[in-house]
Amino acid sequence: MERIGYITKPQNLDAIFAALADPTRRAILSRLAAGEASVNEIAAPFEMSQPAVSKHLKVLEQAGLIERDVDKQRRPARLKAEPMAAAVNWLEEFRQFWSTSFDQLDSLLEKLKKLRRSGDENERFADLCAGACI
């Protein structure tokens, strides 16, 4: 059965958002945005062991957010932007919804400010919210 009206998403989008949910992994991605780095270089600012950092790197690699090479005895990691772009594109689909909601809120707040200045805010508040509050 075809799902009409549903947004399709890349299969690994759940893995991408799960990886991005952890602040340590986000910090690692920020570090890798500056260029590739070894596990030792990535682990330096964190108060955790190299194996713990390696586990975070594995999650990021499985989500497709980083790739790792073998360079002699090093395994440098580097950022892969394409999967993150897929997540951004998916979120972008909701921009119109949020933009409309914020515009409605802004309009309501402006009306409330005018009512406050006019002094009859208690009388008209219910009328104002009836049309704007959902």
Q: Are 65 and 110 contained in the same domain?
A: no
Residues 65 and 102 in one domain: no
Q: How far apart are the C-alpha atoms of 83 and 39, rounded to whole Å?
A: 22
Query: Does residue 26 sit in the same domain as residue 78?
Result: yes
> What pLDDT score does 128 carry?
60
How buried is residue 53: exposed, middle or buried, by Cβ count under 10 Å (0-12/13-18/19+)? buried
Give residue 114's domain range. Answer: 96-132
Residue 19, SS3? helix
Residue 114 phi, psi (nearest 5): -65, -40
Q: How high is the mean pLDDT in each 10-residue block of the chain (134 residues)?
A: 49 89 96 93 91 95 91 84 87 82 83 76 59 54
Domain with residue 85: its CATH number is: 1.10.10.10
The pTM of the full predicted model, rounded to 2 decimals, is 0.66
Q: Does one domain contain both 80 and 111?
A: no
Write the CB contacts of 57 (distance below 8 Å, at least 6 apart in sequence): 28, 39, 42, 66, 68, 77
Domain count, the chain: 2
In a domain, 51, yes or no: yes
CB 40 within 8 A of CB 117: no
Residues 82, 107 within the same domain? no
Do 103 and 96 meet the contact criterion of CB atoms below 8 Å apart?
A: no
